[in-house]
């Protein structure tokens, strides 16, 4: 899989603060790329640079190994975090207008808008003014407008905010659908659940620097703390007695069916096999799962680390 978009050593300074400091990211073609970071970290600035709304002070952005230029506008679709449409304009003609600005012909734009309107069952909205629509309906229109010109790169800034769970699920399906069709998607979000669910790769930006990037699975694996969940039937006391020095019991509970759940962190060079061997004699094992850290955990940990706070610090100030 080739790299579709590559930002290389991008820095951007506003009069009194550094918005981006030597940030590089590589977005492979056909993946969903999560752009994570606290508010004010510099994500929007990076997105605006990719959209050519503003330019970098130093560094460069390549689209398929070519420097970004005006031609690329047609290949990028952008859904900003702060949504907006012309309130007094009719939905249909507005969608066509925005598609034409992206380079579609009037005829083609009209055809595609109709297709999408059918797909989202909103044919009746064509003549409605935006101000007559509910917020959720406006969001749908905005999403359609973003993907209408079939961009190769989609940049979605907090795409789920403002949607109810049903519509959020529809949008999620559409995103996966677009990925299946070959689109590359940059997803900027705070919603870590959706990151784990959707993203293949991520970059974490904090205080204008990139502090982490890579494949989501690999990152979670890398931050795995060798913790396992064991499910067993039998005496909890016998189980704990059979534990040896290679493992540490973190938590334990018993569910309604009498199954015991314990979480064990392996210490030293011990392996899951050694753990099994130790407890098998005393209990009937029903399951063993490795516990990987959630992206949320990694996010908070990395951000706090970056802010010079202890990992154990309860809350970080990540709404600067």
Partner 1 sequence: MGKIWIIIQREFIMGVRNRTFIIMSLAAPLFFVGIILVPMFIASQPGSQKTVVVCDNSGCPDTVGYAYVFKDTMNIKFDYHMVYKPIGEVKKMYRDSDNYFVLYIPENFMGGCDTVNEHSVALSCILYSKGEPGFNLINHLQSVLTTEVQQDILGSNGISREVMELSRRKVSVTSEVKGQMSDTEIKFLAGLIFGMAVYIYILMFGVRVMKSVQEEKATRIVEVIVSSVRPFQLMIGKIIAVALVALTQFTVWIILSMLIVVPILNTIDDARLDHMKLQNANAGTAVAVTGSNGGALQDIALNENIQETMEKLMSVPWGNLIPAFVFFFIFGYLMYASIFAALGSAADTESDTAQFSVPVTIPLIISMASFAVIVNDPDGTIAKWLSMIPFTSPIVMLMRIPFGGVHITELLLSMGILMVSFFFMTWLAGRIYRVGILMYGKKVSWRELGKWLFYKG
CB atoms within 10 A of CB 271: 11
Position 71 contacts partner 1 (CB under 8 A): no
Position 113 contacts partner 1 (CB under 8 A): no
Contacts (Cβ under 8 Å, ≥6 apart) of 246: 266, 267, 268, 269, 270, 274, 275, 278
Question: DSSP H helical segments within 4-129, as ranges?
Answer: 43-50, 91-101, 106-119
* Residue nearer to partner 1 on the CB measure, 12 or 302: 12
Half-sphere exposure in the Cβ direction for 198 (13 Å, CA): 30
Q: Of 172, 209, 173, 177, which Cα lies nearest the Cα of 189?
A: 172
Position 238 contacts partner 1 (CB under 8 A): no
Question: To the nearest whole angstrom, how small is the minimum distance from the Cβ of residue 239 to partner 1?
Answer: 57
Give CA–CA dist 43/35, Å, rounded: 7
Helix (H) / strand (E) element for 78: namely strand 76-79
Considering only residues 123 through 182, tell me which ones interact with partner 1, judged by CB under 8 A: 142, 145
Position 39 contacts partner 1 (CB under 8 A): no
Give CA–CA dist 78/75, Å, rounded: 10
Question: Residues 4-33 vs partner 1: string with x where CB under 8 A?
Answer: ----------xx------------------
Question: To the nearest whole angstrom, how small is the minimum distance from the Cβ of residue 108 to partner 1?
Answer: 14
* Residue nearer to partner 1 on the CB measure, 52 or 252: 52
* Residue nearer to partner 1 on the CB measure, 33 or 232: 33
Question: To the nearest whole angstrom, how small is the minimum distance from the Cβ of residue 299 to partner 1?
Answer: 25
Q: Of 69, 65, 49, which Cα lies nearest the Cα of 57?
A: 49
Region class of 103: left (phi > 0), else alpha (psi between -120 and 50), else beta: left
* Residue nearer to partner 1 on the CB measure, 106 or 221: 106
Question: To the nearest whole angstrom, how small is the minimum distance from the Cβ of residue 182 to partner 1?
Answer: 21
Tell me the window of 21-29, 95-103, 233-241, 307-315 that interacts with partner 1 (CB under 8 A).
Answer: 95-103
Residues in contact with partner 1 by the rule CB under 8 A: 14-15, 48, 51-55, 57, 70, 73, 76, 78, 80, 82-89, 97-98, 100-102, 142, 145
């Amino acid at each position: 899989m080739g790299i579709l978009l590559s930002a290389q050593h991008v820095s951007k300074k506003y009069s009194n603060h550094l918005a981006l400091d030597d940030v590089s990211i590589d977005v492979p073609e056909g993946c969903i790329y999560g752009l994570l970071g606290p508010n004010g970290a510099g994500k929007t600035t990076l997105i605006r640079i990719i959209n050519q709304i503003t330019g970098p002070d130093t560094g460069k952005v390549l689209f398929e190994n070519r420097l970004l230029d005006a031609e690329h506008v047609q290949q990028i679709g952008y859904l900003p975090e702060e949504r907006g449409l012309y309130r007094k304009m009719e939905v249909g003609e507005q969608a066509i207008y925005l598609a034409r600005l992206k380079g579609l012909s009037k005829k083609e734009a009209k055809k595609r808008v109709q297709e999408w309107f059918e797909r989202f069952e909103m044919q009746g909205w064509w003549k409605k003014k935006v101000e007559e629509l509910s917020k959720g309906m406006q969001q749908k229109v905005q999403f359609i407008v973003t993907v209408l010109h079939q961009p190769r790169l989609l940049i979605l800034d907090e795409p789920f905010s403002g949607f109810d769970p049903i519509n959020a699920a529809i949008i999620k399906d559409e995103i996966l659908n677009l990925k299946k069709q070959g689109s590359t998607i940059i997803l900027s979000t705070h919603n870590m659940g959706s990151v784990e669910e959707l993203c293949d790769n991520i970059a974490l930006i904090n205080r204008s620097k990139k502090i982490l990037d890579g494949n989501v699975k690999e990152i979670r694996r890398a931050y795995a703390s060798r913790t396992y969940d064991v499910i067993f039937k039998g005496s909890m006391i016998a189980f704990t007695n059979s534990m040896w020095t290679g493992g540490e019991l973190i938590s334990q509970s018993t569910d309604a069916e009498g199954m015991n759940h314990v979480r064990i962190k392996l210490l030293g060079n011990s392996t899951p096999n050694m753990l099994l061997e130790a407890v098998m004699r005393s209990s009937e094992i029903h399951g063993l799962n490795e516990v990987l850290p959630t992206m949320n955990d990694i996010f908070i940990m990395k951000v706090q680390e970056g802010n010079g706070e202890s990992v154990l610090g309860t809350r970080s100030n990540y709404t600067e």
